[in-house]
A and B are shown apart, each in its own frame.
Chain A
């Protein structure tokens, strides 16, 4: 395992937005993630790569407590997730919701603000306008009142991104937002993320296409139940590490 030279604790909190220590997640007795130590540096585009079933989605879900953690700790800017949940925005896989749901694009974006509103408080003209702005940023202001099932796959993905933008977070956790989208969507998403990065925000993306990792990202996390490598692309995105990440699985499944 490669780690950057260790820093003093106080410094590391300034430098890292997410600190994961000894994280293990098991589904029943099946380990999905095993003893992971990992930090996400601020202001970086971070790719999580690994074979199918390697625990990539589980890793970002574990950060938000969406899956129960078997052991270990996750801290977001030095606090637990439940104390800092407004600092994290999540873009789930497109298939995770029912697109036949009776709602439109603008409404879905506005749902990103429900957490900030808290219990019982209703969406208002302010949240509506904010949602409109975010929908505009992803180039979908003309589709605001379109039922979400009538959007293309790429447009649906952009609606999800707009929803995350509405959350105005410091950390964006995204589960394969570029999977199977059109060129315009890919460009839109990347340029928005580039801007977020410039504002010092942390972007963590589960990513499938290995060819584009060094083009789009600054930092890579290579995972296959265990953490294989974690660091700047130039240092750790090597053939040896790739082989270790993608062969481990085959050996296990034999």
Chain B
């Protein structure tokens, strides 16, 4: 089976992105971003121990070792913060560097097995095409594609089959508990999927960059939609776009592939954060200034109504004086209220409320 190595690398990247970005949605919604950081680092310990135990990088042993150390991480973190004064973030900050550090020590002792710190931190997606699987001496293609593909099937099945259970236990744990839908079990199943995904993705993009694919696309998707199902689809799409664009950029600029991919996730998030349709910075800013303008409009019309009621005249300049607004802003507002025919200007430059304006004032005072 001969497939070009570019395709294998892109395929690997797409599968890493899809796996992490789908399961990452639940991490983001459960406010567990830091926990995924912890897990994706501390799996190193399990991987190294597994490599020592079987004398090589046997995929099944590596995954089992990684998942076990992931679960160890979660359990230790929960033990720490439930037993005393420590908060969850501090507990995470204590446990994962400790487990990761032991892993680093073991890696440097591993002269005879193929594993090094460089590989652990940045992954080795570049070598994906050279690592092939054999079935009875028959070359069945890229190992990373096979492993990540099976993982993708597992992740999608997990989310599809337990969608309702994941949703209710994430949104309202006590409802899930009272309904007998065992949120703690769901939690641990999710953590097993996170740890498995972390171990497998770790091979390709390394410990540091796994977190980018877990958290960043899901966070961008969160800003883009109000539906969980759409958030999942968007998160996976943004993850895949980052992977593909990252690869193309890496080839073009001749830089680290996994580094480029993670950088693109950050850039995409930034764009969504600034330009997002409803929750983006610009649209929020526009909405606030529009609301502000609407409030000021009410203030002006009520002011004119009040002044006219006590037989005083209002002009653009008196407006800026009595309301304490700049001349430019008062001018802008007075032009607007004339345009909208809320007021008319008489020969002396003083305002008179029209019927429409009067109605508007009544609306505000209600």
Residues of A bordering B, CB below 8 Å: 61, 64-66, 82, 85, 88, 90, 92, 96-98, 101-104, 108, 111-112, 114-115, 117-123, 147, 163
Would B180 and A115 count as touching, CB distance under 8 A? yes
**B168 proximity list for chain A (CB < 8 A):** 111, 114
Q: Which 8 A-B pairs have the closest CB atoms?
A: A115-B179, A147-B226, A64-B178, A102-B228, A101-B171, A97-B172, A102-B231, A114-B168
Whether B161 is near chain A, meaning CB under 8 Å from some CB there, is yes
Question: B172–A92 contact, CB under 8 A?
Answer: yes
Whether A92 pairs with B175 at a CB distance below 8 angstroms is yes
Instruction: Determine the distance from Cα of A147 to Cα of B231 in the docked complex, in whole angstroms.
Output: 13
Given A102-B226, A102-B227, answer yes or no on A111-B178 (Cβ-Cβ < 8 Å): no
B-side contacts of A104, CB under 8 Å: 226-227
Q: How far is the CA of A101 from the CA of B164 in the complex (A)?
A: 14
> What are 7 A-B contacts with C-beta separation under 8 Å?
A64-B177, A64-B178, A98-B171, A101-B228, A102-B228, A114-B176, A120-B162
The answer to whether the Cβ of B167 comes within 8 Å of any Cβ in the partner chain is yes
How far, in whole Å, are A239 and B176 apart by their CA atoms in the complex? 40
Tell me which residues across on chain A come within 8 A of B321, comparing CB atoms. none
Please encode chain B, from 161 to 191, with 1 for each CB lying within 8 Å of some chain A CB and 0 for all others: 1111101101110111111110000000000
Q: How far is the CA of A220 from the CA of B230 in the complex (A)?
A: 46
Name the interface size band of chain B.
20 to 34
A111 near B226 with CB under 8 A, answer: no
Least distance between A110 CB and chain B CB atoms (Å): 9
B178 touches A115 (CB 8 A): yes
Any A CB within 8 A of the CB of B29: yes
Given A97-B171, A102-B228, A104-B227, A66 and B177 touching (CB < 8 A)? yes
Considering the complex, which residues of chain B in the window 226-241 have a beta carbon less than 8 Å from any beta carbon of chain A? 226-228, 230-231
Which B residues from 19 to 59 make CB contacts under 8 A with A?
Answer: 29
- Nearest-CB residue, chain A, relative to B169: A114
Residue B214 CB within 8 A of the other chain: no
Candidates A90, A103, A108, A119; contact of B165 at CB < 8 Å = A119
User: Given the complex of chains A and B, what is the CA–CA distance between A85 and B162 in angstroms?
Assistant: 21
Docked complex Cα distance between A96 and B175 (Å) = 10
B225 within 8 A of A: yes
Q: Which of A98, A104, A114 has the most C-beta atoms of chain B within 10 angstroms of its own C-beta? A: A114
Q: Beyond the given A101-B29, A123-B164, could you list 20 further A-B residue pairs with CB under 8 A, ordered by the A residue number?
A: A61-B174, A64-B177, A66-B177, A85-B180, A90-B174, A90-B178, A92-B172, A92-B174, A96-B174, A97-B172, A101-B170, A102-B228, A102-B231, A103-B226, A103-B227, A103-B228, A115-B175, A115-B178, A117-B164, A122-B163
Question: Complex Cα distance A118/B179, Å?
Answer: 8
